[in-house]
Amino acid sequence: MLTVSNINVSIGGSRILRDLSLRVSLNEVVCLMGRNGVGKTTTLKTITGLLRPTSGKIQWNEDDISSQAPDRRARGGIGYVPQGRDIFPNMTVWENLQIGLVAHGKKGKGQLDRVFSLFPVLKEMLERKGGVLSGGQQQQLAIGRALLTEPKILILDEPTEGIQPNIIDQIGDAIRMLKSEGGMGILLVEQYLDFAQALGDSFYILDRGSVVAEGAISHLTDETVKKHLMV
């Protein structure tokens, strides 16, 4: 289980996160929601170690990882697909995927087969440069590369942003499959409300760096959406 307890984060002297707490358990999809600029990506970067909290605690399976380096957190089971995907555009699809394996010292034929079953288009494009793929294909590649590290928690930052509808459906199907397989929790930052409601088990809504609403996704009311998510 990933547990974030009362973290505070400041950037350039400005306080971005304020006593933020959340939990992600295995076999559940947790949606982190909120308008632009409320601290969602900062939360993810703090969980993955790219930013350090000024106070509070981050625990992974009851171990305090608040001061661990990002690479150690990744090796410990935290996978991250950032907003914008961050694939290597001048490397082929195959080379991008190999980085996910090499970084963890694995050969991984079984893991590769699993990625190809989730995203068959990647197997058809192994020799293509990542930079020539569509935005949706790049997103599939980024998720596939993260899965090759065999994470126990997969963190996805806006996976549907700028993606064509048919690939949004494929990414949704992949998330459902990963959840059904068990042994993994997913923390999903998502602006597309229907996508989040279709996939999520629970939600947290941020405003000005603090959690202002949380609960089971089935309890996400129209009133809450209007108050905290509508622009």
Structure tokens at 25: 């358990």
Task: Please list the rounded mean pLDDT of every run of 10 residues in the chain (231 residues).
Answer: 96 94 96 95 97 96 93 92 88 92 67 92 94 93 92 95 91 94 93 94 96 96 92 72
Greatest CA separation found in the chain? Answer: 50
What does pTM read for this prediction? 0.92
Q: Which residues of 156-186 are buried (b: 16+ CB within 10 A; e: fewer)?
A: bbbbbbebeeebbebbbebbeebbeeeebbb
Q: How far is CA 140 from CA 32, 113, 125, 137, in A?
A: 20, 14, 12, 5
Beta bridge partners of 55: 8
Q: Is residue 143 part of a domain?
A: no
CA distance 125 to 114: 16
Residue 222: inside a domain = yes
Range of the domain at 6: 2-86+152-228
pLDDT attached to residue 84: 79
CB environment 125-150: b (16+ within 10 A), e (fewer): beeebbeebeebbbbbbbbbbbbbbb
In a domain, 29, yes or no: yes
Q: What is the DSSP letter of 129?
A: B
Pairing of strands 2-11, 55-60: antiparallel
Q: Considering its fold, how many domains does the chain have in total? A: 1
Task: Assess if residue 117 is contained within a domain.
Answer: no
Structural domain contains residue 104: no
- Residue partners of 164: CB distance under 8 A and separation at least 6: 134, 135, 136
Residue 178: which CATH number?
3.40.50.300
pLDDT of 26 reads 93
- Establish if 103 belongs to a structural domain: no
Asked, for residue 142, whether it belongs to a domain, the answer is no
In a domain, 109, yes or no: no
Q: Which residue is associated with the tokens 């590290």?
A: 149
Q: Closest Cα to residue 2, out of 36, 29, 35, 25?
A: 25
